[in-house]
Structure 1
């Protein structure tokens, strides 16, 4: 079951809710606001009790929903969530982040079965010079810098494996032998690892042009210097449900102007905003690409991902955004590296 099919807004009528319950075979529906923040849940039993108490089919689902549902945090382990579900005697539970945003749904059947195996190839970009992290990267390539007790690229690899992925390409350049010696063929993690060896810097998209065999299914791509708890399985499902040619993970970024901003019409002052906060969605360095997209890449030349996505948009191919509300950190500066280690020790929240 695709969990996003279980989302409804609070202004949906009880009649439409009944229809939606039929569509999802009677499973629990999640009532959310426009930001996907969980407002409540509704089951067939909730609807029936509501009708018995006098509510009409034309009333909104908010009148009959459970406004205080049990939830699990998306950072919880599968074992803890399964234990919680057995304790609560529920077969389905919403996963929410620290802000109460729904990021998935777990069912007891899926947890007891374990993660499904994904045959999609995952490309992890591990060839950067890491110049901004000098002197840390003068003797160690950035992907092998340790966060907590293991290299950051190993944390990324294990996160994908946790979500059922087992086939990887590592795009390597700077100090490639160190990376290749550490990861080998992947057998230590029970996965398959191959290498894209760049003799010159190719850019994120250019490196994809060196993949020897075109993939048969959507390709996952991620920068090798990110620390995140995003659910990669949900990202892939989102890409497929939207029928996208490319999906880009995006992260909301806030920037506070440290001054009062004067709004003017010509020379006439219309207002003053004191230290306004501007919000943007920024590229989070995580992508899903359809195999057909790779045919657009020029061979043997530098090509960054921004250029590829811009070309797709210009060609009217479908490019969609996947909002990342889970923990996410780009380890680009020394301060970021310090923060990554502190966050890893305290749990990625």
Structure 2
């Protein structure tokens, strides 16, 4: 089963990094966040990827073209341009890199990879979010739900700490980052049936997948939600990048399931 990753956005909210590289190439622990996402799927045996490229997509192409070389011990004989690979720890990934347009929205990007997934069930996620999701359990849930689309729903913690204060001004209870208001939101990590392309007819380049197509699919009772209560983090801004890096460096990276 193929895994499609949306990796074409401009990442304007993390411009400190994305003026130089596409957002999925921003590094955590010396590896692009895209690599971390792919490693999660690979851990569950899914190694065939279709990457939807856009902004600075050539950098993602160059990364994978040179991946084997960069992760190998080599001997180079300069006099005859001979290259011998002595050892490699390259991944088992098979990666298809598709230019889906610089300004194409998410629905348009998905439509443009239809020929690469053909008439098969496939998975889809965003190129900026990591999680400790059990991909096999997600797939089992999707098969049991028997819907066109399964999304992974997550519940974000509150942004601010809660204080209970008595009349004298004494804090009687403090809770840092409490659970949110109980609302489950879209966390990516989709499983999709090929029937979703019926909702992507015509020119959908300017349409957001999460708006019109997914809304229509839900209205037709064809959307299921797999509830994930574990770790999930989207690298939406620089503070998120710093937090993920800190988790990695202190061996607290919950998404590192491999």
Aligned to 1:294: 197
Which of 1 and 2 has greater Rg?
Answer: 1
- TM-score (structure 2 length as normaliser): 0.76
Superposed CA offset, 1:10-38 (max 9, x none) = xxxxxxxxxxxxxxxxxxxxxxxxxxxxx
Preserved contact between residue 196 and residue 207 of structure 1 (Cα < 8 Å): no
- Change beyond 3 A, Cα 1:203–1:185: farther
Asked whether 1:308 is paired with 2:213, we answer yes
- Change beyond 3 A, Cα 1:168–1:277: closer
Preserved contact between residue 245 and residue 317 of structure 1 (Cα < 8 Å): no
Superposed CA offset, 1:71-110 (max 9, x none) = xxxxxxxxxxxxxxxxxxxxxxxxxxxxxxxxxxxxxxxx
- Select the residue among 243, 261, 285 that pairs with 2:188: 285
Preserved contact between residue 247 and residue 289 of structure 1 (Cα < 8 Å): yes
Aligned-partner Cα distance in 1 for 2:239–2:215: 31
Aligned-partner Cα distance in 2 for 1:173–1:341: 25
Aligned-partner Cα distance in 2 for 1:324–1:184: 34
* Secondary structure, counterpart of 2:47 in structure 1: strand
Asked whether 1:137 is paired with 2:40, we answer no
CA-CA distance at 1:322 after TM superposition: 0.7
Aligned-partner Cα distance in 1 for 2:28–2:117: 33
- Change beyond 3 A, Cα 1:226–1:277: closer
* Secondary structure, counterpart of 1:220 in structure 2: strand
Aligned length: 215
Gaps of 5+ in 2: 69-89, 164-177
Aligned-partner Cα distance in 1 for 2:16–2:179: 36
Aligned-partner Cα distance in 2 for 1:234–1:185: 33
Aligned-partner Cα distance in 1 for 2:161–2:248: 31
Aligned to 1:113: none
Asked whether 1:205 is paired with 2:107, we answer yes
- Select the residue among 246, 253, 259 that pairs with 2:156: 253
Aligned-partner Cα distance in 2 for 1:138–1:257: 30
Aligned-partner Cα distance in 1 for 2:223–2:67: 32
CA-CA distance at 1:240 after TM superposition: 0.6
RMSD: 2.5
- Change beyond 3 A, Cα 1:321–1:139: same
Aligned to 1:167: 48
Aligned-partner Cα distance in 1 for 2:19–2:6: 18
Preserved contact between residue 8 and residue 102 of structure 2 (Cα < 8 Å): no
